[in-house]
Every structure is written in C-alpha cells, then in structure tokens.
C-alpha cells in the first residue's frame, strides 16, 4: 500500500489525535516550511521543498501481511495517509498479492 505522490506518505502508527499533532510539530521542526529560500527545490517555482523531506521521514509505503482475509495487525496498528503539501488531488495504491 503506497502513496502515489512524492509529498505524501502511507504509514502505520497509533490512531491518537495528540500523536498526530506531535508528528506535525516534529516534522516541521526537522524540515521547516519556511523560509522558502531554505530549499533549492523551491527555485523551480514550487513551495513544497519541505514536503519532500517530511515524506522521507514518514515513508512512502507499508507492506501488510494478510491471513485468511484479515490484516495481520498488532493491537494498535492503524494505517494512515500523511499529506504534507495539499495542492492537488492524490491517490493511494492498494495492491494485493497471493492466492
């Protein structure tokens, strides 16, 4: 299961709103959005240099085992889509392999 876009993520973590706020704050501290001049990428006219970096921390994809039609998840595992840019419509790809 993967984000099809390079400024977003699919990741597995806890379904807890405080944690999600912590992620946002933490990612902003590791790769601040501003000043825009911080990123060479923004010379292309885009302003999402930070989004590409944030997505590397959070990851592109998750590979999830399935047994008898159910996800082999631990007690608190949940899949999330992380959006770090927000400028256009995006898609997530779910590919199922096996019998």
Which residues bind to its own copies, rule: CB under 8 A? 2-6, 11-14, 16-19, 21-23, 26, 30-31, 39-44, 49, 52-53, 55-63, 65, 67, 72-77, 90-91, 93, 95, 97-98
User: Is the Cβ–Cβ distance between 41 and 52 less than 8 Å?
Assistant: yes
Report d(CA 48, CA 60) in Å as an integer. 16
User: Is the Cβ–Cβ distance between 1 and 61 less than 8 Å?
Assistant: yes
User: Is the Cβ–Cβ distance between 28 and 1 less than 8 Å?
Assistant: no
| Beta carbon of residue 69, minimum distance to its own copies (angstroms, whole number) | 14
Report d(CA 62, CA 64) in Å as an integer. 6
Determine the distance from the C-alpha atom of residue 81 to the mean position of all C-alpha atoms in its chain, rounded to a whole number: 5
Give the residue with the Cβ less far from its own copies, 41 or 83. Answer: 41
């Amino acid at each position: 299961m993967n984000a099809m876009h390079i400024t977003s993520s699919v990741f597995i973590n806890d379904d807890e709103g405080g944690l999600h706020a912590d992620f946002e704050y933490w990612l902003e501290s590791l790769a601040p959005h501003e000043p825009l001049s911080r990123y060479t990428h923004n010379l292309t006219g885009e302003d999402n240099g930070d989004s590409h970096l944030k997505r590397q921390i959070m990851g592109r994809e998750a590979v999830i085992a399935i047994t008898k039609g159910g996800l082999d998840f631990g007690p608190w595992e949940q899949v999330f889509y992380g959006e770090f840019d927000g400028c256009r419509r995006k898609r997530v790809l779910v590919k199922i392999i096996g019998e």
